[in-house]
A and B are shown apart, each in its own frame.
Chain A
Amino acid sequence: NAGVTQTPKFRVLKTGQSMTLLCAQDMNHEYMYWYRQDPGMGLRLIHYSVGEGTTAKGEVPDGYNVSRLKKQNFLLGLESAAPSQTSVYFCASSYLGLDSPLHFGNGTRLTVT
């Protein structure tokens, strides 16, 4: 009964380093989302996917790339990390998109120094 699993849970990067955050869901959901959460700013949508092989930009896509090569996985990449990308990152998935609840992972806390 894993649901949505995010790895890693914590990470510290230096400015300019790259990394990939992995999100995996075992609920056969079509839709997947990446959000970032910063104090006082709620959750902001970075990128999302409406199915395997598709991706689309959200509210704050700059500095991030994503891939959805397999239906169950949604990867978020930072090519050259910046301190402004220090945040908590949440992945979410849903079955039917707009008519279904979002199921969230436990989050990844990323610090860029």
Chain B
Amino acid sequence: GQQVMQIPQYQHVQEGEDFTTYCNSSTTLSNIQWYKQRPGGHPVFLIQLVKSGEVKKQKRLTFQFGEAKKNSSLHITATQTTDVGTYFCAGPTSGTYKYIFGTGTRLKVLA
């Protein structure tokens, strides 16, 4: 079945450093969504990418969708303590309405 892997699993950064998480799918995705989950909370939608090679920005966050639509990345510039949490990518299994989540990257920001 479809698998969605994320690396790294954990990342500790000093406040002000940059951070990137990578998402890789075993199959081509029609779109990809990114979510953030704060400690003790629930996942919250950040963004959706649909087109091959698409790049979207939200303030300090930059999202990319790979040309082959099998991978994606989230880059945070100059991390802040409010960025702490786990970041998940999620993509639909082809031909179904199943959204399969990646394994997540847990970010810790040290002040």
Partner of B103, one of A40, A48, A92: A40
Inter-chain CA distance A59–B103, complex, in Å, is 14
CA of A71 to CA of B63, assembled, Å = 34
The interface residues of chain A lying within 8 Å CB-to-CB of B104 are 42
List, in ascending order, chain B residues with CB within 8 A of A48's CB: 97-98
Q: Which residue of B is nearest A45, CB measured? A: B98
In the complex, are the beta carbons of A58 and B43 less than 8 A apart?
A: no
**In contact, B33 and A102 (Cβ under 8 angstroms):** yes
A101 in contact with B33 (CB, 8 Å) = yes
A65 interfacial by beta-carbon distance below 8 Å = no
Contact B103 A102 (CB under 8 A): no
Give complex CA distance A55, B108 in Å: 38
Q: Which A residues lie within 8 Å of B24 (CB)?
A: none
A107 touches B42 (CB 8 A): yes
Q: Is A33 part of the contact surface with B, judged by Cβ < 8 Å? A: yes
A97 interfacial by beta-carbon distance below 8 Å: yes
Question: Which of A40, A43, A59 is within 8 Å of B43, CB to CB?
Answer: A43
Residues of B within 8 A of A (CB-CB), count: 25
User: Is there contact, CB below 8 Å, between A106 and B42?
Assistant: yes
Query: A104-B42, A104-B44 are contacts. A98–B97 as well, Cβ < 8 Å?
Result: yes
The answer to whether B92 and A98 have CB atoms under 8 Å apart is yes
Which residues of chain B from 1 to 35 have any CB-CB distance to chain A below 8 Å in the complex? 1, 6, 9, 30-31, 33, 35
Name the residue among A33, A42, A45, A104 with the largest chain B CB count within 10 angstroms.
A42
- Residues 28-55 of chain B: 1 if any A CB is under 8 Å from the residue's CB, otherwise 0? 0011010100000111110010000000
- Give the residues in chain A near B90, CB-CB below 8 Å: 43, 102
Task: Name the CB-closest residue of B to A101.
Answer: B45
CA distance A44 to B96 in the complex (A): 15
Q: B14: shortest Cβ distance to chain A, in Å?
A: 24
For residue B1, which residues in chain A have a CB less than 8 angstroms away from its CB? Answer: 59
A41, A56, A98, A99 interface centre (most CB from chain B within 10 Å): A98
Contact A35 B101 (CB under 8 A): yes
Known: A59-B1, A90-B43, A107-B42. A101 touches B48 (CB 8 A): yes
